[in-house]
Structure 1
Amino acid sequence: MAFLNINGRSIAYRLLGSEANPLVVLAHPLGMSQAVWDDVLPMLLPRYRVLTWDLPGHGASQAWGERPITPADLAAEALALADLAGAERFHFAGTSIGGVVGQQLISEHTERLLSATLTNTGAVIGNAELWNTRAGRIRVEGLAAMSEEIVPRWFAPACFEAEPALKAGWCTQMGRGDDDSYARLCEMLGSHAFTGKLSGKPVKVQLLGGSEDLATPPSTLEALAAELDGAPLEILEGVGHVPSVEVPGLFAETLLAVMAVDLGDVGANGVDYATGLETRKQVLGEAHVARSTENATSLDAPFQQMITRLAWGELWSNDDLTRRERSMITTGILAALGREELTLHLKTAKRIGLTEAELRQVLMHVAIYGGVPAANHAFALAKELGWGDAR
């Protein structure tokens, strides 16, 4: 876990995975913490860089302060963290109040989003009386006392039966939060709605709900879908308010499907330049791609266009292999052939996160199947580029 100071407050966050992968930002529900994503992370990290953070007064993030909290404040935290990760655009997924953050991003910052997956949320959640009453009770009774009443609403009954310790664990987590920050977030939910603010936004959106969700039942998600011009909605049977905890495998499968680049009918139509350029920047880095583009002349500009569409659009943008796997394949082929691009892809392999052991095995395969001299040259070049510890 790391910390970032935003407007005088310390924000707890995690930034995991290779910087060569697309970024996905995850926002947790009210009263919980970024730990709700723990069981999902192993399924996302092979293909995505993942950023999670704790909302004000939740987890390890500092309490809010005296002024009211708005959805714009929470979206600003998400954007500041995405900027820290160096992501011009990113995927977003949020549950409950995390989905409210997503709606704010869709409403005001569509240009930053590659996709938005909103789960167990609504354009309107509850009503002002409900949230103001809860805020008042929290300030008097405290989160620790009220957690026994609130936490059972998060999960389907079958979930508690399967995992009895779940209730006590999340009650403990909720009880550690800051009472006033939680109360201010309740007041925010009671005073803000996104009715009429989400139509006509050019971003891919997927909605996800649970049939047993008491806080945001399917009807709330259906109303949100209408606000989003009929965005697709999936209701998970037997699931409550927090699918990333209750059914992490199914949640991850859905999220991965949403975030996957839609290449269309590649055989008939190919892949557009913009898709390839986005992937090329992620894998090789903005600086390298900028230099290649700036150095192009009338002679090789069409060639740069072609490799961006074919190599980076049709191959590297395809999710059938991870970028880590493609890096090993590409490095091995270039080493065997002795091509000058090997230098670039040895640097890229380090950027993607290949280990020394993985690179060694790739080059030893080159030695057996491509020739010892080719592997010897590749090992020497890798050492020049900083691979391996000096003895």
Structure 2
Amino acid sequence: MARPTLKAVLLSPQRTLGDKPLLIVGPSLGTSSLVWAQAGSLLANDVDVVAWDLPGHGVSPAATEPFSVAELADAVVELVDSIAPGETFHYAGVSLGGATGLQLAIKHGDRLKSLSVQCSGAKLGTPEAWQERAETVRTQGTAVMIQGSAGRWFAPGFMDREPELSSRLLHSLRDTDRFSYAFCCGALAGFDVRAELGSITVPTQAVAGAEDSVAPPSFAQEIADGITAGGGTASAATLEGVAHLAPAEAPGHVAELLRSLIFWAESRGAAK
């Protein structure tokens, strides 16, 4: 296994980094920085928002060999150091991006100011199911996932209300490199940090969609309970009418939750 290469997309106005809090946001499998575009725009006046794309997704180059979620977390730190060397940052991620956030908090907690884990869990699915999906996509391409992903990603009625955004997100899935997608499935197959949640000390919020069949609200509660059991600070929240892509489905709610967490963590840090 090897650390993959990630590329960034700036979602806030071009300006000197460091004057405002830095927020790094991570995507779901099969999506790109687009999933964060609206929520990032709502935060852009107060926070520097930088999104990263998974290998073979969006602007990031395709992966050529397997990697783990822990190696994705290492790659995020490497990416941050390329734009703001040594800086601490706030982090929010959805699904695989959220799993990467948990791994960041476990392995690189000294770099994080706060963590928002959205539509994710300390373990997602089963290794067998992920390996089966990886093989399907390797042989048939990512287009085979579009119908199933549409049903998982969006709550009922969302595609009718937001046809352009939902279409663009599904197109990003179609355009994803099939082998990189399969490597991401392999990373999720090996991901299980339930026993390590108690080591997380960074202030954390776990956000779930009430309609999410992939990472239901019980997963968010498990994250919060695991962190608080170890003495950390964490809370869980459920968004009604939301499935698996909270930042795209409910950008206003997500932006408000993030703004509250970031400003609280910043004021807490200033008071030390």
TM value normalised by structure 1: 0.63
Counterpart of 1:74 (choices 72, 75, 94) is: 72
Structure 1 Cα separation of the partners of residues 127 and 119 of structure 2: 19
> Relative contact order: is structure 1 or structure 2 higher (C-alpha 8 Å, sep ≥ 6)?
2
In terms of mean alpha carbon deviation, does 96-105 or 226-235 score higher? 226-235
SS in 1 for 2:196: coil
CA contact (8 A) 1:115 1:205 kept: yes
Q: Which moved more, 1:12-21 or 1:47-56?
A: 12-21
**AA aligned opposite 1:245:** A
Question: What amino acid is the match of 1:70?
Answer: S
Whether the aligned pair in 2 keeps the contact of 1:91 and 1:114 (CA below 8 Å) is yes
Equivalent pair of 1:123/1:227 in contact (CA under 8 Å): no
Whole-Å separation in 1 of the counterparts to 2:62 and 2:170: 19
Q: Secondary structure at the match of 1:260?
A: helix
CA distance in 1, matches of 2:159, 2:146: 15
* Matching residue of 1:258: 261
Q: What does 1:100-119 align with in structure 2 at a 5 Å threshold?
A: 100-119=99-118
Q: What is residue 13 of structure 1 aligned with on the other side?
A: 8
* CA–CA separation in structure 2 for the residues paired with 1:82 and 1:223: 29
Conserved in 1, the CA contact under 8 Å of 2:5 and 2:75?
no
Question: Partners of 2:131 and 2:266 in 1: how far apart?
Answer: 47
Within a 5 Å distance, the mapping from 1:155-234 to structure 2 comes to: 155-229=154-228, 231-234=234-237
What amino acid maps onto 2:81 in structure 1?
A: D
Could you say what secondary structure the match of 2:214 adopts? coil
The aligned residue for residue 122 of structure 2 is 123
User: By how many angstroms is 1:162 displaced?
Assistant: 1.4
* Shift, 1:143, TM fit: 0.2
The gaps in structure 1 that reach 5 residues or longer are: 1-6, 265-271, 278-391
Q: Residue deviations 1:144-185, cap 9 Å, x none? A: 232122222101012123123444332221111111111111
* Aligned Cα root-mean-square deviation (Å): 2.1
Aligned equivalents of 1:47 and 1:166: distance in 2?
Answer: 24
Shift of 1:79: 0.6
For the 8 Å contact 1:152–1:167, the answer to whether it is kept is no
Gap regions ≥5 residues in structure 2: none
Alpha-carbon shift at residue 243 of structure 1 (Å): 1.2
Native 8 Å contact 1:26 1:53 kept in 2? yes
Residue 38 of structure 2 aligns to a residue whose secondary structure is coil
Distance 1:111 1:47, change over 3 A: same
Q: Distance in 2 between matches of 1:158 and 1:202?
A: 38
Deviations 1:52-83 (A, max 9, x none): 111101012111102x2111221122111221
Aligned mate of 2:252, from 249, 253, 260 = 249
Percent identity between the aligned chains?
Answer: 34
Q: Tell me how far apart the structure 2 counterparts of residues 178 and 100 of structure 1 sit (CA, whole Å).
A: 21
- Compared with structure 1, are the counterparts of its residues 261 and 181 closer, same or farther at alpha carbon in structure 2 (3 Å cutoff)? same
Instruction: Find runs of 4+ consecutive structure 1 residues off by over 3 angstroms.
Output: 7-11, 15-18, 164-168, 261-264
Corresponding position of 1:267:
none
Partners of 2:5 and 2:55 within 8 A in 1: no
Q: 1:147 to 1:262 in 2, by over 3 A?
A: closer
Amino acid at match of 1:243: A
The amino acid of 1:250's aligned partner reads: H
Q: Is the 8 A contact 2:214 2:244 kept in 1?
A: yes
The total of aligned residue pairs comes to 262
Q: TM-score, normalised by structure 2?
A: 0.89
Structure 2 distance, partners of 1:241, 1:258, is 21
After superposition, give the CA deviation of every residue in 1:126-149 in whole Å (9 maximum; x if it has no partner): 111111111111112110232122
Q: Which amino acid aligns with 1:30?
A: L
Name the CA shift for 1:203/1:9 in 2 (closer, same or farther; >3 Å): closer
* Shift of residue 194, structure 1, vs aligned partner: 0.3
Pairwise CA distance, 1:85: 2.6
Cα distance in 2 for residues equivalent to 1:125 and 1:251: 21
Structure 2 Cα separation of the partners of residues 8 and 113 of structure 1: 20
More displaced, 56-65 or 224-233? 224-233
For residues 126-137 of structure 1, what are the structure 2 equivalents within 5 Å?
126-137=125-136
The aligned counterpart of 2:145 is 146
* Partner in structure 2 of residue 317 of structure 1: none
1:1-391 to 2 correspondence within 5 Å? 11-15=6-10, 16-17=12-13, 18=15, 19=17, 20-66=19-65, 68-86=66-84, 87-229=86-228, 231-261=234-264, 275=270
Distance in 2 (alpha carbons) for counterparts of 1:184 and 1:195: 22
